[in-house]
Structure 1
Amino acid sequence: MMRALWSAASGMIAQQTNVDTISNNIANVNTTGYKTEKTEFKSLLYQNLQARTTTANGANKPIPAQVGLGTRVASNTSMFTQGAMLASESDTAFAIDGEGFFAVRGADGNTYYTRNGNFTWSIGNDGVILTNSDGYPVLDSRGNMIRIPDGVAAEKVSVTSQGQFYYRNAQGNPVDMNQSIGLFQFNNPGGLEKLQDSLLRVTDASGNPMNEATTAGLDRSNVRQGYLEGSNVQVADEMVNLIIAQRAYELNSKAIQASDDMLSQANQLRR
């Protein structure tokens, strides 16, 4: 009965984490570039209730007698499926159609990655550069900041589907800026460490970033100017998952109550 108490308690703790994950998905249903997460579980240790032999000669039993000790959270896995393309009136709104990630340089000088392409032109000591909403510079395929040439208005800058920047001169002819927005892929994007503001950090599990412009064999992503990638959260699925998690939590709480009733009856046997 004590085993039942601890096993059911582990189930309640695991389902609470599951509810937390589902709640976070629903809260970010309108977050640009957000990727839904799924809680994975695994069983805990097993105890042997009987030896594996039943005779003095040591004959093996066909099935051992074991009992599990509950469950625990194994991981929260991000699902990097494509989100919906949402039209935007901003000329610096970019959506990735493919498996790539944008790269931005953080305040600490390190490079971070994101699917959130809600960028803007910012004026600073380095001129007019492309940044995210927090002011972090967006990097091109060579790891440099993306700058507008002097004397060129920001509204004249456009981007091709391959991420190449160009502007139109006074005659209306396109002029190549010799910069393209950096797009990077990972062998295991699920291994990226999630940070705030939709930023992701490289880990040993994710592998090193692969530059789409220089790495052979990669399926190149396309850049859609005037669009933002919405989250891939499916509200109907999340509501169903929330109901399932709530019912599992209730079942574990009933198991605790049943174990408590059994312990109470055992304590009353002397009376």
Structure 2
Amino acid sequence: MIKGLYAAASAMITGVYRQQAVAHDIANVDTPGFKQILTSLNEFDKTSAYTQSGLTNKDQIAYLGNMGLGVMAAPETTDFTQGTLKNTDSPLDLAISGTGFFRIRTPEGDRFTRDGRFSKDANGQLVTVDGHLVLSSSGQPIKLAEGNPTISTNGDIYINGVASGKIGVAFFADLSTLTRTAENTFTSTATPATTGGGTVLQSTLEQSNVDSAQLMTQMIEISRSYQAAQQMVQNQDELLGKAISTLGRVS
């Protein structure tokens, strides 16, 4: 009975976790370059259940089978599927078609992102929408002179026809080495390559890869599962109360 209570409670806890992840994805449906968070569940290790064989054989123990103890949230993963590419009017809006990540520098260290909403700050440096420095292929901040920027598909920057650096793009053979550090940035345990299968597109932004219709369906399913687990907790609590009342009654 207690085990049933634990199992139902664990389902409620994981339901809250999944609901938070889905809500986070829905909130970022319009965030350029955002990658959907994927959640899944794991079972707790099962335990073997035994019982006495009967009133006449109290010393004999019968094996009933394995008993589940509920579920827990598995480590979240990321869907790195490319989002839709959309043209913009800004020459500093960039997207990567194919694989690869822009290299940026934050106060916490160098990071990787697919969000190409870039602009020029007061010092003439190329920065992200959050004010982080965009790095060149050599890992240095990019300073832009005055003029009209043209950026080639391999990331070369030209200002009024004069070469002015190259956008740093990092490529990872194994995307599982990437860990989300903020809504739209990642770090990695692997050393990235500087060449790969992606090309840089100017005046373009990659849209979020979140499927809002699918997530709304998931949210309904999660809500129903949570309600079912909640009802199970109430039922288990009532049964436990009756058992205590019955056992405590003096005949």
TM-score (norm 2): 0.87
- AA of the residue aligned to 2:214: D
Q: Counterpart in 1 of 2:114?
A: 115
Q: Counterpart in 1 of 2:136?
A: 140
Distance in 2 of aligned mates of 1:190 and 1:24 = 21
Superposition pairs of residues 219-230 of structure 1, within 5 angstroms: 219=197, 221-230=198-207
Q: Counterpart in 2 of 1:171?
A: none
Deviations 1:169-228 (A, max 9, x none): xxxxx3333x221111223334423233622222x3xx222222xxxxx32x11111111
TM-score (norm 1): 0.81
Distance in 2 of aligned mates of 1:181 and 1:26 = 30
Distance in 2 of aligned mates of 1:145 and 1:28 = 28
Residue 95 of structure 1 aligns to a residue whose secondary structure is: strand
Judging changes above 3 Å, is the alpha-carbon distance between structure 1 residues 188 and 40 closer, same or farther for their aligned structure 2 residues? farther
Residue 134 of structure 2 aligns to a residue whose secondary structure is: coil
1:97 is displaced (CA, Å) by 0.8
Give unmatched runs, 5+ long, in structure 2: 52-61
Q: Counterpart in 1 of 2:54?
A: none
1:93 is displaced (CA, Å) by 0.3
- AA of the residue aligned to 1:137: L
Residue 125 of structure 2 aligns to a residue whose secondary structure is: strand
**Aligned: 1:163 with 2:159:** no
Please report the RMSD computed on the Cα atoms of aligned residues, expressed in angstroms.
2.1
Superposition pairs of residues 15-164 of structure 1, within 5 angstroms: 15-50=15-50, 65-107=65-107, 110-124=109-123, 128-149=124-145, 153-154=146-147, 156-164=148-156
Distance in 1 of aligned mates of 2:171 and 2:132 = 20
Superposition pairs of residues 208-223 of structure 1, within 5 angstroms: 208-212=191-195, 218-219=196-197, 221-223=198-200
**Aligned: 1:175 with 2:152:** no
- AA of the residue aligned to 2:33: G
Q: Counterpart in 1 of 2:57?
A: none
Structure 2 contact 35–184 (Cα < 8 Å) conserved: no
**Aligned: 1:256 with 2:243:** no
Structure 2 contact 34–183 (Cα < 8 Å) conserved: no
**Aligned: 1:267 with 2:250:** no
- AA of the residue aligned to 1:65: G
Decide which of 190, 198, 223 is 2:184's aligned counterpart: 198
- AA of the residue aligned to 1:94: L
**Aligned: 1:185 with 2:164:** no
- AA of the residue aligned to 2:18: N
Distance in 1 of aligned mates of 2:75 and 2:17 = 10
Residue 256 of structure 1 aligns to a residue whose secondary structure is: helix
Decide which of 215, 218, 235 is 1:241's aligned counterpart: 218
Structure 1 contact 105–139 (Cα < 8 Å) conserved: yes
Decide which of 182, 199, 208 is 1:231's aligned counterpart: 208
Moved more, 183-192 or 27-36: 183-192
Distance in 2 of aligned mates of 1:87 and 1:111 = 27
Deviations 1:214-248 (A, max 9, x none): xxxx32x1111111111111110000100111111
Judging changes above 3 Å, is the alpha-carbon distance between structure 1 residues 96 and 233 closer, same or farther for their aligned structure 2 residues? same
Distance in 2 of aligned mates of 1:235 and 1:148 = 38
- AA of the residue aligned to 1:240: T
Structure 1 contact 31–230 (Cα < 8 Å) conserved: yes
Deviations 1:42-92 (A, max 9, x none): 0002111139xxxxxxxxx9x971101111011111100111112221110
Structure 2 contact 91–203 (Cα < 8 Å) conserved: yes
- AA of the residue aligned to 1:130: L
